Structure 1
Amino acid sequence: MTEYVLVAGAWLGAWAWDDVVGELSTAGHGVHPVTLSGVAERAGEPGGQQAHVQDIVDVVERADLRDVVVVGHSYSGIPVGQAAERIGSRLRRVVFVDSNVPSNGESFTSRWSAERVAELTESGYWPPLTAEDYAGQGLSADQITRIVDGSTPHPAASLTEPAVLAGSLAELPATYLKCLLDGDTPSPDVVALLESDRWELVELNTGHWPMFSQPAELARVLLAAG
């Protein structure tokens, strides 16, 4: 039995995986959706990036999980990549779902302008997207409403703190899922990692939020990775 640890991107909590959880559970696997500190039902808690890494590691260690597939969507690929390294032999595979990936010493906002970073830091939060921002991503009106209504501000510290890696992500067994409505090719850092024989690329003809737009298809990708 594989244990799936699922981490959604910015503004979203464990609830974002509801339509995927049943698919994985029915297939006989353990499923552990994670809400990171500072968002959803944990809004108000301090939510730095290293706190998010620890949130994920804690789920694995407290339940003594083995054969873990840890899944990071969007922003959460950054803490998930670090957590995958830290859980060591417990890891079966890491799956990056149309996500950022960590680079040692770099943050989510490393390529943002100084003015934009200052504005984010001053507010303390990254505000959720509006309904209009989800256009063209393969989502129905009801799905967009569900995402917008469930989103909460995302803690700024998680975006500005640098990643901490002991080794190269290329050494981890990994699947990168590219959602084609959000661009035909992965970012250059991911393209470089895909040169590793431990990484594979999978494509899905949907937008950036496949847990809502194509949950069954996403579940099949995760099952194949496990």
Structure 2
Amino acid sequence: MTNFVLVPGMWLGAWAWDEVAEPLRAAGHHVTAVTLGGLAERAGEPATLESHIEDVVAAAGDAAAVVLVGHSYGGLPVRGAVERLGGRVTRVAYVDSGPVPDGTAQADFSAGGPAGSDVPPPSFDPADDPVLFAGLEGRATEIHGRCTPHPYATVAAKLRLRHPQQPPTDLIVSTFTRANVERMIADGHPFFAGLDRRDYRVRELPTGHWPMFSRPDDLAGALGGA
């Protein structure tokens, strides 16, 4: 039995993991899906990147061993929580994300709205971006309707870390290929900073950027198999 802590990306709440959590629980794992401050049922709460890191740490509770899973933006608070939780993290999985280095902000990778404004959710419509939104045919309206504008402060803030070391790491890639990722790691791309080539695995799950919606059973299988 594994203690999973599932952290969603921008605009989403714990609800985004429902279709992944169900098969993991059925397989006997303990699963905690996180709603970060300022989102979903916590909309309106003040939120910072620091408070999002604390949300992840709190979700780990007093478990002696946890596997942290971060999707997209969720990789930043997960990376911060890895440092706080230390040896209690037995493995970390980044879903279309990566263990970014000290000084990184989500804004370095994705454009938001006007400075100071919360970031509105995208359409999720494959007609608008057939790569990013692949697999979401027929679900775009439902997903968009449940999303929350993402707190600007958490997007602009820089992640502050003291230690570059990583625990054993899974990179579950959906909009990248294994070859792309391994080349980026070899080239020292900051998105995958701090990885020891002996301690990471790349798992391909071809789909759009939101495999928890487009391929939830396969994502659960990739996580459970880790």
TM-score by length of 1: 0.87
Partner of 1:127: 120
SS at 2:139 equivalent = helix
Task: Give the letter aligned to residue 212 of structure 2.
Answer: M
Task: Give the letter aligned to residue 63 of structure 2.
Answer: L
How much is the aligned-residue C-alpha RMSD, in angstroms?
A: 2.0
State whether structure 2 residue 39 is matched by structure 1 residue 39: yes
What are the ranges of 5 or more consecutive residues in structure 1 without an aligned counterpart?
Answer: none
* CA distances 1:142-184 after superposition (whole Å, capped 9, x unpaired): 3222211111100011111111212114x321111110xx243
Comparing 51-60 and 140-149, the one that deviates more: 140-149
State whether structure 2 residue 172 is matched by structure 1 residue 177: yes
State the distance in 2 between where 1:5 and 1:57 align.
9
Deviation at 1:52, TM superposition (A): 0.3
Change (3 A) 1:28 1:111: closer
Q: How does 1:157-176 map to 2 (within 5 A)?
A: 157-169=153-165, 171-176=166-171
Task: Give the letter aligned to residue 222 of structure 2.
Answer: V
Task: Give the letter aligned to residue 33 of structure 1.
Answer: A
Deviation at 1:138, TM superposition (A): 2.8
State the distance in 2 between where 1:111 and 1:99 align.
11
How many residues of Structure 1 are paired with residues of Structure 2 in the alignment?
A: 215
Identity in percent: 40
State the distance in 2 between where 1:111 and 1:34 align.
23
* CA distances 1:170-225 after superposition (whole Å, capped 9, x unpaired): x321111110xx24324523455555311111111211100000001000110122
What are the ranges of 5 or more consecutive residues in structure 2 without an aligned counterpart?
Answer: none
TM-score by length of 2: 0.87
Comparing 210-219 and 131-140, the one that deviates more: 131-140
Of the three residues 55, 70, 73, the one matched with 2:71 is: 73
Bigger helix share: 1
Task: Give the letter aligned to residue 216 of structure 2.
Answer: P
Deviation at 1:32, TM superposition (A): 0.1
State whether structure 2 residue 199 is matched by structure 1 residue 203: no
Q: How does 1:42-53 map to 2 (within 5 A)?
A: 42-53=42-53
Q: How does 1:40-119 map to 2 (within 5 A)?
A: 40-61=40-61, 64-110=62-108, 119=114
Partner of 2:13: 13
Partner of 1:139: 135
Of the three residues 125, 142, 146, the one matched with 1:150 is: 146
Partner of 1:218: 219
Change (3 A) 1:213 1:154: same
